[in-house]
Amino acid sequence: MPYLRTQLGALAVMLALAGKADATGPADKDMWFVPPVEYASESDGETGTQCIALHRVRSTRILAGEGIVYQMSGRKLLINRVRRGASLLNRNQILITRTSGALLCAGDIVQLAESPPGISAGSVALGRFERYHPPARP
């Protein structure tokens, strides 16, 4: 599903750019090359997964400077070590997630807000979701 969504997005960009070409120059002048996205499995194995179903998320917790832990139904924990913006993560922040469907996927953007005022603290780009095993407490 993420592979198809990415490919459809790339096609939409190419079609939009093709429509901007005018009759005074070659049609491919305004075209951009969009490299193919590596296909990733949908399994929850050791390598992780690209997407998770939002209805299965029971809670979230921020690991400052590292990532976001998602507690899924069945007490399974997944961590998303964000692609961009990990240094912005603070444990007292609120996550604001806007999606267009029922899945949260690698590449989606999550907005951060300070708690309690709700002032924007930036945003992070999600990476792959991997199994999380919290460190043992001493």
- pLDDT confidence of 40, banded at 50, 70, 90? very low
- Per-residue pLDDT of 105-126, as tens digits, reads 999 999 999 877 778 888 999 9
> Which DSSP letter does residue 101 get?
S
Please give the pLDDT value at position 4.
Answer: 43
The domains of the chain are located at: 1-39, 51-131
Distance set, CA 72 to CA 48, 63, 65, 130 (Å): 14, 16, 22, 12
Q: Does the pLDDT of residue 42 top 60, yes or no?
A: no
> Which DSSP letter does residue 85 get?
-
- pLDDT confidence of 31, banded at 50, 70, 90? low
Residue 68: name the closest of 18, 123, 120, 13 by CA. Answer: 123
- pLDDT confidence of 3, banded at 50, 70, 90? very low
pTM more than 0.85: no
Residue 38: name the closest of 85, 3, 89, 90 by CA. Answer: 3
Q: Does the pLDDT of residue 104 top 60, yes or no?
A: yes
Q: Does the pLDDT of residue 50 top 70, yes or no?
A: yes
If one counts every other C-beta atom within 10 angstroms of the C-beta of residue 74, the result is 7
The alpha helices in the chain, defined as continuous H runs, are: 2-20
